[in-house]
C-alpha cells in the first residue's frame, strides 16, 4: 500500500486530503474543542473520522459537512458514528451554517481544513461570526502566522486584518507533517477563533474594509498615498490623522476601519 492509501481510502489531492494519524495530536485538538453533549457542534471535512470519533464520544451528536461523496457515504454507513452524525455532503464554502442553529445555542465549528481552499473558506465562515461561539481549525502554520500577525511584521496582511476584525485568533497547537497521511509538504498549526461581539466590529461595510485591504496590501511596498489613490487622497488620509507616507503593514486594524468607514460615507 502506498502512503496515499489510508484506512482503505486513496487520498484525493484535489480535496486537500491529508488525514490525521497521530493520537497525541488528535487528543490535544479534542481537548481544545472541549465538546459537551449540549453543544451544537459542526465539523468541516471529517474525512475518515480521525477527530469525528473522539468528539462524538464526548458530545454524542455532531453535524458534518464533507465534499467527498465516498467519504460522506462511509460516515453515513459507519456502524458506530453513522447514527450519531448528521451528514451534509457538499461544499463547506457554499454551506449556509446559519441553517444549523437550534434555539439559543451558537455553533462550535472545527476541522482539519483542506489547505487548498483555506482562505476563501475562512472568509465564508467569518460571515457567520454572530452565530458562532468558537472555531478550531488545523491550517498551514504559515496561514495561522498570518492570521495572528500584528502591524509592523512581514506576515501582517489582508488575512490578519480581516481575521482580527471578526475574531480573537489564538494559535494553540503546532503540528509537524509526520502526523498526517499522506504527509503534507508544510508545517501545520491549530488556531482557536473566538468571534468578537457585533459592537466591537464597527466597519459600516465589510466589503469596503476588504477592498481597502486588497488595495493597500496588493502593493505593500507602496505608501498609502499611492496604493489607496483610487479611493482617497493623501490629504483626506491626513485629515483622518493617518500619515499618507506610511505603508499598509504599519496600519492598525482600527485605522483600516476608519479608512473604510470614511470611504463608505464619502462614495456612493
Ligand atoms: N478531518 C480529517 C482528518 O483530520 O483526518 C480529514 C482532513 S483533510 C485535511 C480535509 C477534509 O476536507 C477531507 O475529508 C476533504 O474531502 C474535505 N473537503 C475538502 N474540500 C472541502 C469542502 N470544500 N467542503 C467540505 N469538505 C471538504
Measured from the CA of 114, which atom of ligand 1 is nearest?
10
Q: pLDDT tens digits for 74-121?
A: 999 999 999 999 999 999 999 999 999 988 899 999 999 999 899 999
The C-alpha cell 503534507 sits at 184
Measured from the CA of 17, which atom of ligand 1 is nearest?
8
DSSP assignment of 98-114, as one string?
A: GGG-BTTBPEEEEEE--
Q: Tell me the domain boundaries of the chain.
A: 5-197, 206-266
Q: pLDDT tens digits for 205-254?
A: 999 999 999 999 998 899 999 999 999 999 999 999 999 999 999 999 99
Name the residue with the closest Cα to ligand 1, atom 19.
15
Distance, CA 44 to ligand 1 centroid (Å)?
7
Predicted local distance difference test score (pLDDT) of residue 219: 83
pLDDT band of residue 4 (cuts 50, 70, 90) is: confident
Specify the fold of 5-197: Rossmann fold (3.40.50)
Q: Is the pTM of this model over 0.85?
A: yes
Strand stretches in the chain, DSSP E: 5-6, 9-10, 19-20, 40-44, 62-66, 85-89, 107-112, 132-140, 167-175, 180-181, 188-195
Q: How far is CA 172 from CA 115, 139, 149, 190, 254, in A?
A: 18, 11, 15, 6, 25
Residues with CB under 6 A from ligand 1: 15-20, 44-48, 50-51, 65-68, 71, 91-93, 112, 114, 117
Name the residue with the closest Cα to ligand 1, atom 10.
114
Could you tell me the end-to-end alpha-carbon distance of the chain, in angstroms, rounded to an integer?
Answer: 61
Please state the CATH superfamily assignment of the domain spanning residues 206-266 in this structure. rRNA adenine dimethylase, C-terminal domain (1.10.8.100)
Distance, CA 263 to ligand 1 centroid (Å)?
38
Q: pLDDT tens digits for 11-45?
A: 888 888 899 999 999 999 999 999 999 999 999 99
Distance, CA 135 to ligand 1 centroid (Å)?
16
Name the residue with the closest Cα to ligand 1, atom 2.
47
d(C-alpha 192, C-alpha 33), whole Å? 9
User: Is the model's pLDDT at 1 over the cut of 50?
Assistant: no
Distance, CA 13 to ligand 1 centroid (Å)?
10
Measured from the CA of 26, which atom of ligand 1 is nearest?
4
d(C-alpha 63, C-alpha 137), whole Å? 16
- Higher-pLDDT residue of 3 and 144 is 144
Predicted local distance difference test score (pLDDT) of residue 268: 60
Amino acid at each position: 500500500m502506498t502512503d496515499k492509501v489510508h484506512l482503505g481510502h486513496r487520498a484525493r489531492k484535489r480535496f486537500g486530503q491529508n488525514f490525521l494519524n497521530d493520537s497525541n495530536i488528535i487528543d490535544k485538538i479534542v481537548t481544545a474543542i472541549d465538546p459537551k453533549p449540549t453543544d451544537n457542534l459542526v465539523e468541516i471535512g471529517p474525512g475518515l473520522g480521525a477527530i469525528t470519533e473522539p468528539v462524538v464520544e464526548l458530545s454524542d451528536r455532531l453535524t458534518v459537512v464533507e465534499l467527498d461523496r465516498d467519504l460522506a457515504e462511509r460516515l453515513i454507513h459507519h456502524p458506530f458514528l453513522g447514527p450519531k452524525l448528521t451528514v451534509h455532503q457538499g461544499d463547506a464554502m457554499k454551506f449556509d451554517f446559519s441553517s444549523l442553529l437550534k434555539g439559543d445555542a451558537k455553533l462550535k465549528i472545527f476541522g482539519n481544513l483542506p489547505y487548498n481552499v483555506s482562505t476563501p473558506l475562512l472568509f465564508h465562515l467569518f460571515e457567520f461570526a454572530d452565530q458562532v461561539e468558537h472555531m478550531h481549525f488545523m491550517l498551514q502554520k504559515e496561514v495561522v502566522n498570518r492570521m495572528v500577525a500584528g502591524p509592523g511584521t512581514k506576515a501582517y496582511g489582508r488575512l490578519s486584518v480581516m481575521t482580527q476584525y471578526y475574531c480573537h485568533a489564538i494559535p494553540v497547537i503546532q503540528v509537524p507533517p509526520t502526523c498526517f497521511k499522506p504527509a503534507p509538504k508544510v508545517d501545520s498549526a491549530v488556531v482557536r477563533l473566538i468571534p468578537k461581539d457585533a459592537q466591537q466590529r464597527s466597519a459600516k461595510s465589510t466589503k469596503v474594509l476588504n477592498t481597502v485591504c486588497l488595495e493597500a496590501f496588493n502593493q505593500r511596498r507602496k505608501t498609502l498615498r499611492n496604493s489607496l489613490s483610487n479611493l482617497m487622497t493623501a490629504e483626506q488620509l491626513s485629515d483622518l490623522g493617518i500619515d499618507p507616507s506610511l505603508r499598509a503593514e504599519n496600519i492598525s486594524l482600527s485605522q483600516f476601519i476608519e479608512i473604510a468607514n470614511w470611504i463608505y460615507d464619502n462614495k456612493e
